[in-house]
Amino acid sequence: MSLQSWLQNSWLVQHTTSPEEIKNLLAISDRDLLACQVKQLPADWRCAIAYNAALQAATAALAVAGYRAARDNHHYRVIQSLEFTMAPGRKFIDTLDGFRKKRNVSSYDLAGAVSDKESDRDAQTRGRSPRGRGKMD
């Protein structure tokens, strides 16, 4: 499997990015990484913010590769595309996908579904993202 095969499956569309778009996506990611550490926010909201930080960084990586995710399963595809764009390892991708599922529950089904401990772990994982310092800056 490759991004090209994902394109053939209509999971991605070709996308021409710009330095400004990448800068903006990464600025959102950085902003959310800071915001998710505000302890006065509920844990499930901090988790959602940390998740968005990771999603925006992964979206930037996919854009740099010349693609964007199609609308169907958009968040899932963006996260899974990290395998090809940044190669952080399956464990990291699976952890982010777990955050995606947890965020869906806390955003749409059940308030308080995320504990403080989980939220702190989410933020720590995002802080160890494959972007790191300098990889995509």
Q: What is the rounded distance in angstroms from the CA atom of residue 37 to the CA atom of residue 43?
A: 10
Q: Which CATH superfamily is domain 3-127 in?
A: Nucleotidyltransferases  domain 2 (1.20.120.330)
Name which residue leads in pLDDT, 35 or 134: 35
pLDDT band at 105 (very low <50, low <70, confident <90, very high): confident
**Tell me, what's the pLDDT at 121?**
55
Q: What is the mean pLDDT of residues 68-88?
A: 96
**Tell me, what's the pLDDT at 45?**
86
Residue 123 has pLDDT above 80, yes or no: no
- The number of beta carbons lying within 10 Å of the beta carbon of residue 79 is 26
Helix ranges, the chain (H):
3-8, 19-35, 43-64, 74-80, 82-85, 90-104, 116-127
> To the nearest whole percent, how much of the chain has pLDDT over 70?
77
Q: What is the rounded distance in angstroms from the CA atom of residue 54 to the CA atom of residue 134?
A: 16
- The number of beta carbons lying within 10 Å of the beta carbon of residue 9 is 10
What are the boundaries of each domain within the chain? 3-127
**Tell me, what's the pLDDT at 20?**
98
**Tell me, what's the pLDDT at 133?**
35
Q: What is the mean pLDDT of residues 7-33?
A: 97
Instruction: Give 23's Cβ-side CA count (13 Å radius).
Output: 3
Query: Which of 123, 118, 128 is CA-nearest to residue 38?
Result: 123
Residues 56-67: pLDDT tens digits? Answer: 999 999 999 999
CA atoms 44, 124, 132, 102: torsion sign: negative
Residue 73 has pLDDT above 50, yes or no: yes
